[in-house]
Structure formats: C-alpha cells, structure tokens
Structure 1
C-alpha cells in the first residue's frame, strides 16, 4: 500500500472513532454557557504522535441550546504579516435536533512538515473532507501549541476565540512564545512568520432564521 493510501486509511478510521465517540465526555457538563476544554493527552493525539502523522489539536466541546445556536470553526493563515483573504479550511453547523450537543472538536494537519499538508476539521458528529493546501513556506523551524489554558473555557456568544496556533520560521532556532497571550501572537504575525490560527465562534440564532 502506498503512503498516500495508508494515510487516508488511518485518517478514515481515526475520524470514525472521533465521530462515533462524539457524544461522550470525560466530565459532566451543565448550564447554558458553551464551554471548551483542551485535551492534549487524548488517545487520538497520541495516535498521531506514535504514527508520526503530523499535528492534532483535540478539544472537548459542550454546546447547550444547540437547537438555537450556530458554530463556526476555521483556520486562518498569516504570512509576511498579512492574513490570507479566505480561511484555509472551515466548518459551519448548527440548529441541531438535540437541545444539547457535546463531544470532540479539533483540527488536524497530516504531513505538516511538507509543502502540501492535508488539513481537516472535526466537530461532534461531523468532519470536513481532508483538504490539501500549498503552504508556500520554506522554513526550518516549526512549533505549535494550544492557546487556551488548562481549565474549562466558557465561550461568549458572538465572540471568536483562538484555540491553537501553528508557526513556521526561517532559521534553526525559534524564541519561545506564550501562545496564550494575544500580544505574543500578534507580534509573531508582525515579524513575518507563517502562522496558522484555529478559531471558533458560537452565535445564537433561532431555527426560523
């Protein structure tokens, strides 16, 4: 089996596991406020690491009043201090038949250290098709991290939040940055590094809209 077919098969089974288990949560959630929690020690991130597939950001997402709310997830790319006009990849959904929706949400990048990585997004019960992009970046140093803390994060309706950041920089060394600090992320972008930001926004809409 060639490498590309192997990767697609692994990704297919990984997404099946992510979607099948999308209704499960490690922690009981209550209340009317949407929340998200990073899960860097999940078996799915471990699988990505063990198989040397690339980068995976995994979160536990809780969405109450899901039948009246809309979710947007997308990845922005910045290069030479400027944002690409359109998101690299995006996923939008809402008006669920269920009043509460919770499960796994995240972003994966296969072969991240090549010029043409595969990107995909996943959310409770759904995912995007893997999409090949041209990074147009020839760098030597790569780093990535979550941009939210260890504790459960409450989401404000209508406000976008940055969940994770991926960075590529020329040269053999890279300064450690606090990815949880918005000023640090803005400084990295202004310095001209290639940066990808995973973002999320929850809005409240009625089913009639």
Structure 2
C-alpha cells in the first residue's frame, strides 16, 4: 500500500473522530452562532504527532441548527488573482437538533510536497482528503506561514449572512512574509498582492431557505 493511501486512511479515521465531536457547553448561553480558534485542541495535537501537516481547528456553536445552513470553503489566490472556484467546500444544515456544537476545521496535508491534500470537517460531517490540482510547494528561497484570523480567547459572534475569515495559509517567493492584522481590510489586500500564494478559510451561516 502506498504512503499516500496510508495517509488518506489515517486522515479518514481522524475525520470520523473530528466530525463526531462533542459538546463542551462553552457557548450554550449565547443566542447567536459563535466560533473560536482551538489551536491547542486534541485534534491538532493528534495531527501534529503524526507529522501530517497543518490543521486549523475551531469550536463552533450554532443555535437553531434545525433552521440554519453552514457553508465552509477554501479560496486560493495566486499572485493576487482569485481562482474561479474554491479549492474545496462543505455545506450542511437542517440539523435534527435545535443546536449544534463541535469541532470545525481545515486540514492541509504535506503542503510542501508535490502532492498536497486538503480536507474540511464540521460537526457531524466531513470531506475525505482530496488532491490540489496544482502543486503547493514552496519555491527555492521562498517561505510559508499560517495564521488563525480569529481569537482563541474571545469567541466571535457570527451574524447570519456574514462571511467570516477564519484562517490563512501563505507562501512568498521572496522569502519574506509580512505580519497581517486580519481585522484590517487594507492589510488583507496587501497580503493578497504581496504573497505568491494564499489560501483563505471562510465560513458563512445562513437561514435554511427550505
């Protein structure tokens, strides 16, 4: 069995745990959808222990989940140009319960190799790893970095219909990567112009129209 197949099987096993999730009770007093970064979660530790790549993990709480729809996707910018379609996306909603709480996130496997894989997961649902059509390999002399765009200390209240930037993975062909204030639209625009490749994880929660 090839290393790639073994990796996919390992990730598929982890995804079963990720999507099962658990209720932490952290957000249940809040009447709005709420999310916060969880960079030190058990899921991140397991991912890092297996030396698989990068995992952005979050804790998401959605009240009235039986009437809401959650959309999660990854955009790619190359030299400032946005790909016409997301690299991957995940949508779910109309939950059987009136509230949904659990882990949500984005995994990037072997980002600096010739065959990187990506996947998304959320409470009760996940997408198995898929290949990126073009290589996501740092050029010689280049650099890469990744950042959460929201806090792990202060849960973010999410308005219905609001597009929320959750995290970013960045590559620079020059070897220099500037710091970014993700609360600043100007900083974000500068990042997209200066960095050679940028992946943005975004989320939107809407009313279920059915």
TM over 0.5: yes
Conserved 8 A contact 1:117-1:134:
no
Find the counterpart in structure 2 of residue 86 from structure 1.
Answer: 85
Q: What pairs up with 1:144-163 in 2 under 5 angstroms? A: 144-149=146-151, 150-163=153-166
Closer, same or farther: CA 189–115 of 1 in aligned 2, 3 Å: farther
Conserved 8 A contact 1:80-1:191:
yes
Q: What pairs up with 1:134-145 in 2 under 5 angstroms? A: 134-137=133-136, 138-139=138-139, 140-145=142-147
What is the CA–CA distance in structure 2 between the aligned matches of 1:43 and 1:136, rounded to whole Å? Answer: 29
Conserved 8 A contact 2:171-2:195:
no
Quote how far apart the aligned CAs of 1:181 are.
3.5
What is the CA–CA distance in structure 2 between the aligned matches of 1:187 and 1:173, rounded to whole Å? Answer: 14
* SS of the residue 2:113 aligns to: coil
* SS of the residue 2:178 aligns to: coil
Q: Report how many aligned residue pairs link the two structures.
A: 206
1:58-80 CA distance string (max 9 Å, x none):
00000000111111000000011
Quote how far apart the aligned CAs of 1:28 are.
4.7
Find the counterpart in structure 1 of residue 4 from structure 2.
Answer: 4
Conserved 8 A contact 2:27-2:61:
no
* SS of the residue 1:25 aligns to: coil
What is the CA–CA distance in structure 2 between the aligned matches of 1:178 and 1:192, rounded to whole Å? Answer: 15
Structure 2-normalised TM-score? Answer: 0.91
Q: What pairs up with 1:121-132 in 2 under 5 angstroms? A: 121-132=120-131
Q: What pairs up with 1:3-82 in 2 under 5 angstroms? A: 3-20=3-20, 22-25=21-24, 27-82=26-81
4+ residue runs over 4 A deviation: none
Conserved 8 A contact 1:23-1:101:
no
What is the CA–CA distance in structure 1 between the aligned matches of 2:25 and 2:63, rounded to whole Å? Answer: 16
1:3-53 CA distance string (max 9 Å, x none):
213212221221122123x23226252232000011000121112222221
Structure 1: runs of 5+ lacking an equivalent? none
Conserved 8 A contact 2:168-2:199:
yes
Find the counterpart in structure 2 of residue 203 from structure 1.
Answer: 206
What is the CA–CA distance in structure 2 between the aligned matches of 1:43 and 1:182, rounded to whole Å? Answer: 32
